[in-house]
């Protein structure tokens, strides 16, 4: 039994799928290769336990064995995820490979931190959440796909920390995997033998359904994405996107349904004030409204605190499953997202009417994608625009997660999550989105920022909702 900071490690095991004597190999698509050396997707599900189940013995004798056995059953359905990414010397592209006895790293740990402090929405030390996230191995020759950590907070609850490799799983895919685990965990807890998955949770790994428009060459794609990196071209080691932890805090803000409606009315009331390609819409999605409002508050906070920065941009990932021709199923497991920059002007984010300007830009970009397809904006343009804006000193915002993933429905048998955090937003300048946990149609917005920027953001965020 080892210990580190506030964490005591009870067990470190490899969970393997049952009857796993077959070898499986799956190629990566150009969607996947884009993320080959990107940092992992990292998030935490926190669960509060009722008093009758919150003692240490119940956790280790009942909860942990059930989580282990159901994880093994889940991997039987998601066999490639128990393997690794490898890149053979004679192969042009890397691949996912599962061989017998491969498995997923699982840490069983215990924390002495105050559970209430850890799960609160108000700003807390950014580094705290890192204690509950497992390391995902990546070397020059191989990269793990999933790593998990289950952490007990005695007499209060537990957390499940998940690290997933972005070249194998996009956000939707990783959530489908966790939902399948939760479903089987409930079924095995009910002592059901050989439970079958619901149809919407049965994974589709077939890469043949993704047609590559530009030639699937990993080295070519990577050299465009990381033109300034000195690298071993065949390395699978993640580039360093170190978490921003020094003098930084992590917080969650909520836009309730009535807040979003208020923002929508404000945006629609000024729609025709500005030059626009589109007539005023009947409705605007919660995603557009939450992003526009949060990013404008963020830009204004950075502008105020960090030397009056003025140039801002926003790139967001679009789920292409329903936009491909022909469309593919929602339970396709792999990357099927592509980034798009909005066409807002650099100063739009800090103007008085910034929320309306940014909301219109996001809305128009999504409408264009829906009408013309995700490849209307050429693949090379995404790389070139990012490089160009970075050289010009832009702060480029991103977004992780979605308010449509249903993360607060992930019940492993002991109730729904008390809190969900996308931890990996601390590796860049991004907001993390989830639906409000009360199911009322609101949106949660997660941020990791410098303390002073967070203070200013918080003031702008709350005052903006009160004054309109």
Catalytically annotated residues: 166, 411
Cβ proximity of 214 and 379 under 8 Å: yes
CA–CA gap between residue 78 and residue 101 (Å, rounded): 14
User: Residue 236 is encoded by which pair of tokens?
Assistant: 């699978």
CA–CA gap between residue 172 and residue 162 (Å, rounded): 14
Pinpoint the alpha helices (H) of 168-280: 171-189, 218-225, 257-269
Cβ proximity of 451 and 220 under 8 Å: no
CA–CA gap between residue 219 and residue 317 (Å, rounded): 22
User: Residue 260 is encoded by which pair of tokens?
Assistant: 């979003």
Alpha carbon 443 to chain centroid, angstroms? 15
Cβ proximity of 107 and 12 under 8 Å: yes
Among the listed residues 255, 263, 264, 302, the one whose alpha carbon sits nearest the alpha carbon of residue 284 = 264
Please give the DSSP secondary-structure letter assigned to residue 349: G
Cβ proximity of 288 and 281 under 8 Å: no
Please give the DSSP secondary-structure letter assigned to residue 423: G
The strand pairing partners of 143, in sequence order, are: 85, 138
Please give the DSSP secondary-structure letter assigned to residue 59: I
Largest CA distance in the chain: 65
Cβ proximity of 107 and 149 under 8 Å: yes
| Residue 135 CB contacts under 8 Å (≥ 6 apart), including other chains | 147, 163
């Amino acid at each position: 039994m080892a210990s580190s900071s506030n964490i005591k490690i009870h067990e470190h095991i490899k969970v393997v799928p049952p009857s796993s004597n077959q070898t499986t190999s799956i190629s990566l698509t150009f969607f996947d290769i884009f993320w080959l050396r990107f940092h992992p997707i990292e998030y935490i599900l926190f669960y509060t336990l009722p008093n009758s189940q919150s003692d240490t013995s119940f956790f280790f004798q009942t909860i942990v064995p059930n989580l282990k056995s159901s994880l093994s059953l889940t991997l039987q359905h998601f066999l490639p995820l128990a393997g690794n990414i490898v890149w053979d010397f004679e192969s042009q592209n890397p691949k996912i490979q599962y061989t017998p006895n491969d498995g997923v790293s699982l840490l069983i740990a215990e924390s002495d931190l105050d559970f209430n402090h850890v799960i609160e929405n108000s700003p807390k030390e950014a580094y705290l959440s890192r204690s509950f996230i497992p390391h995902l191995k990546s070397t020059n020759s191989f990269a793990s796909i999933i790593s998990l950590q289950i952490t007990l907070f005695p007499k209060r609850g537990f957390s499940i920390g998940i690290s997933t490799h972005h070249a194998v799983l996009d956000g939707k895919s990783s959530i489908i995997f966790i939902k399948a685990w939760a479903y089987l965990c409930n079924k095995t807890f009910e002592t059901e033998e050989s439970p079958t998955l619901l149809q919407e949770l049965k994974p589709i790994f077939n890469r043949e359904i993704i047609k590559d428009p530009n030639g699937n060459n990993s080295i070519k794609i990577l050299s465009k994405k990381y033109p300034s990196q000195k690298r071993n071209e065949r390395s699978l080691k993640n580039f360093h996107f170190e978490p921003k932890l020094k003098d930084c805090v992590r917080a969650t803000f909520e836009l309730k349904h009535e807040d979003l409606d208020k923002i929508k009315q404000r945006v629609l009331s000024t729609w025709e004030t500005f030059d626009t390609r589109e007539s005023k819409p009947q409705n605007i999605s919660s995603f557009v409204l939450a992003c526009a409002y949060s990013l404008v508050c963020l830009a204004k906070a950075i502008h105020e605190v960090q030397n009056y920065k003025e140039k801002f941009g926003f790139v967001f990932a679009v789920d292409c499953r329903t936009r491909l021709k022909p469309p593919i199923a929602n339970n396709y497991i792999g990357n099927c997202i592509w980034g798009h920059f909005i066409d807002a002007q650099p100063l739009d984010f800090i103007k008085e009417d910034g929320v309306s300007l940014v909301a219109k830009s996001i809305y128009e970009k999504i409408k264009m994608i829906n009408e013309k397809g995700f490849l209307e904006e050429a693949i090379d343009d995404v790389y070139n625009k990012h490089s160009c804006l970075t050289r010009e000193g832009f702060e480029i915002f991103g977004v992780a997660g979605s308010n449509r993933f249903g993360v607060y429905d992930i019940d492993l048998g002991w109730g729904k999550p008390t809190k969900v955090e996308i931890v990996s937003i601390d590796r860049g300048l991004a907001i993390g989105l989830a639906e409000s946990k009360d199911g009322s149609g609101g949106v949660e917005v997660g941020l990791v920022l410098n303390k002073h920027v967070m203070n200013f953001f918080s003031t702008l965020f709350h005052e903006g909702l009160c004054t309109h």
